[in-house]
Structure 1
Amino acid sequence: MNSRYSRQILFSPIGVQGQEKLQQKHVLIIGAGALGSGSAEMLTRAGVGRITIIDRDYVDWSNLQRQQLYAEQDVEEHLPKAIAAQKRLHAINKEIEVIAHIQDVTALELEQLVHDVDLLIDATDNFETRFLINDVAQKYNIPWIYGACVGSYGLTYTILPGETPCLSCLLESIPLGIATCDTAGIISPAVSMVVSHQVTEALKILTNNKDSLQKRLISFDVWQNEYSTMNVQPLKKPRCPSCGEGAVYPYLQQENQTKTTVLCGRDTVQIRMPFSGEIRTEEYAKLLENKVEQLFVNPYLLSFTADDKRLVLFRDGRVLVHGTKHVAEAKSLYHRYFG
């Protein structure tokens, strides 16, 4: 056995057999931002045999404060995060396989990627994608680890199909009006704490130490010195559409996915989220105040300027992103400011 992993092998719950298991496993990380890059590096150093990373974005200066795989040169070269991560991970450990996908995450792509995957790690910035992950995980019986952080707050939860409540059991529908890193900021210790919890749970699953899994939802605030765990097992719903009897996996169905349309002749992309209902634009205005330019709100809509683009949110949940014809760019801006 390679001496590279000697200290990990000395840890008795892993040992030689656990290390051999790690080298045979395949982990899919959805998102290569703060959580994704941190998890990818830890799992690479741990010797997980194959890591697939999917991300639609490129490295930006604002990422360097907390996204540990990236450097200034990546920003200057406008490298996609998946590619920059792949290059860095290969430099760390040439023994493992790192696969990079530069693309948006849709139900179709996700279902194509998961067939030989042992574990899914959520490193996304939005609940739309998390509900896709949840349904795919339930459909193909793959464990996944939810993680999120904003400001100094973090949250993580391990979901085992057939055993624990799934994300739909806990939330039922896509939440709206959630603070994001672009509206509330973030500090890197909160990221590191979530990554540590996610990767610890990942190592337990990949080495077949499931009896040691947390089995509780973990939340904390590193600035306010708060840490708590919650038993959410009673929230498991027998008739949940994603994990219950006769599950239909609603978020994998076309009619329940985000609709995007490039408006002809207007240099504008329209985005419509599923299950949105009526939006309280004044609540978004409070989140965005002093974070964006030219913020305007009236009883019918909210609009503002960010990254040289004009975004308009209507009360029926539609968003117009003016100044681009690229759907991926428009969706990235949407999730950045609307959670």
Structure 2
Amino acid sequence: MRKPEEQPRWPDRYSRQTRFAPIGESGQRRLEQAGVLIVGCGALGASLAQHMARAGVGLVRIVDRDYVEPSNLQRQVLFDEQDALESLPKAVAAARKLRLINGEIEVDARVQDVTNANVGELLEGMDAVLDGTDNAAARLLLSEHGFRRGIPFFYGGVAGSQGMSASLVPGATACLRCLIGGGESDSGADTCDTIGVIAPAVEWVAALQAAEALKWLSGRREALRRTWLSGDLWHFRVRESALPSPAQGCDICGGAQAAAERGGDADNSRIRGRNAKGARDSRQAAFHLTSLSLNRSGPLAEGEPVHHGFRAQTAVLCGRDTVQVTMEEGIGLDLGEAEQWLAARGCEVTSNPYLVKAAMPEGEKLVLFPDGRILVQGTQDPARATALCGAYLTGMRAAAILR
């Protein structure tokens, strides 16, 4: 990693972009003052992130709950074989690449899930949300909270050779819930894991999203595409339909404040606030051990306690043959403790500074993160996942996250 004093400063870095008349010098200044939240750093998210970094967006905040695996390399452009060998969290691996692409911007990487508890903080200071997620629940959450704050949501989705994109703008269009309904489950939907995906389809959708985001962030909102666009690159079919206006009966988009363009001195002060906040976050990211023990008595059903005095939530990851088990907010995992504990119980354990992976004799794998999340790979049954967590983590000390 380059030291700050070694960071090159090239006056012509954005010269081809500023010569593009719709952006120009004024649009470039707006980009440099803007902040964008990218949730999900897989295929779409990785491509979106590199587009935003190369364009000079001042703050690129990446949030992802997963880590790099070999099957990602076919389409996720920011990752390489070494990232997969090290099982690096996608947000961490992506941030490393982005800082090499553009050391003049701020990259804020978060290895976490998006929840009701943290979505407000993640949206703080953001001018747009770019959708790289793989599940409806996260999309609906981001759309709802973004609309309430006047922040547009640039939707995108890909499976097989098909993809779709839409720019949802508070005060101008309907919210995502009005467009797709309130169902938070992806059950029955085609995914990359069920029907595969080709990289050109990913790049096509990411290009659509990125172009609309650049229009918005550079202050050229009149150029936004007001349509829902879908297509199939393999058979080359494209469909476009107008986006509906806000639904007056909807408590999300019906009363949403109009999204505002931001720029000038107010934005500069906002960026200074971001930098200060980032320093605070880095100091608060420490963990300490407590005497909390993980207890289990028989197989656990969905929502049953995984450890004494606290409850865990489960979520089946779309098409992944994986269940995410999340401890109660504020309870984390000490990775050093977990590595020793699981190795002593017959698991084949590997680790890095961000996670611990344990292959269990039963065939499934546990992937533990310090924020209290556990991916149970090899099952789609929440009861099985929570039972395995209880069986292998009983008695292990937890970690309380300093707030």
TM-score past 0.5 threshold = yes
| Mapped partners of 2:37, 2:256: distance in 1 | 27
> Number of matched residues?
277
CA deviation after TM superposition for structure 1 residue 242, in Å: 2.0
Of 167, 172, 184, the residue aligned with 2:181 is 172
Give the 3-state SS of the residue equivalent to 1:173 in structure 2: coil
In the alignment, the residues of structure 2 paired with residue 263 and residue 105 of structure 1 have an alpha-carbon distance, to the nearest angstrom, of 27
CA separation of 1:68/1:164 partners in 2, compared to 1, >3 Å: closer, same or farther? same
| Equivalent pair of 1:27/1:117 in contact (CA under 8 Å) | yes
What secondary structure sits across from 1:4 in the alignment? coil
Matches within 5 A, 1:10-49: 10-49=19-58
Q: Partner residue of 2:169?
A: 160
Question: Which of 80, 96, 113 does residue 87 from structure 1 map onto?
Answer: 96
Structure with higher Rg: it is 2
Supply the RMSD in Å over aligned alpha carbons: 2.6
Structure 2 CA distance for aligned equivalents of residues 110 and 191 of structure 1: 26
Alignment of 1:63-142 (within 5 A): 63-142=72-151
Instruction: Return the alpha-carbon distance in structure 2 between the equivalents of residues 161 and 202 of structure 1.
Output: 14
Relative to the length of structure 1, the TM-score reads 0.76
- For residue 60 of structure 2, the aligned residue among 51, 76, 95 is 51
| Structure 1 residue 325, shift from structure 2 partner | 2.6
- Taking the aligned partners of 1:162 and 1:173, their CA distance within structure 2 comes to 20
Unaligned runs of 5+ residues in structure 2 are 1-9, 258-293, 305-317, 322-362, 366-376, 391-403
Aligned to 1:107, what secondary structure does the other structure show? coil
**Does structure 1 residue 230 correspond to structure 2 residue 241?**
yes
Give the unaligned 5+ runs of structure 1: 248-261, 273-286, 293-304, 313-318, 327-339
Match of 2:230 among 219, 228, 235: 219
Percent of residue pairs identical: 39
TM-score, scaled relative to structure 2: 0.64
Q: Secondary structure at the match of 1:201?
A: helix
Partner SS for 1:105: coil
Shift of 1:321: 4.5
Q: CA deviation at 1:115?
A: 2.0
Name the SS of the counterpart of 1:99 in structure 2.
Answer: strand
Residue type of the alignment partner of 1:125: D
In structure 1, the partner of 2:264 is: none
Query: What is the CA-CA distance between 1:311 and the residue it aligns to?
Result: 2.3
The residue aligned with 1:311 is: 380
Give 1:36 shift. Answer: 0.6
**Which residue is equivalent to 1:270?**
302
Structure 1 pair 168–2 and aligned structure 2 pair: CA distance change class (3 A): same
Q: Does residue 191 in structure 1 map to residue 217 in structure 2?
A: no
User: Which of 212, 216, 220 is the aligned partner of 1:201?
Assistant: 212
- The superposition leaves residues 61-105 of structure 1 with CA deviations (integer Å, 9 ceiling, x where unpaired) of 000000000000001111100000000000111000000000111
CA-CA distance at 1:206 after TM superposition: 0.4
Q: Spell out, residue by residue over 1:2-37, the C-alpha distance to the aligned partner (whole angstroms, 9 max, x if none).
A: 201110111000011111111000001001100110
SS at match of 1:310: coil
Matched residues in 2 for 1:153 and 1:58: separation? 25
Any conservation in 1 of the 2:299–2:383 contact (CA below 8 Å)?
A: no
Q: Measured at CA, do residues 93 and 177 of structure 1 come closer, stay the same or move farther in structure 2, by a change above 3 Å?
A: same
Shift of 1:156: 0.6
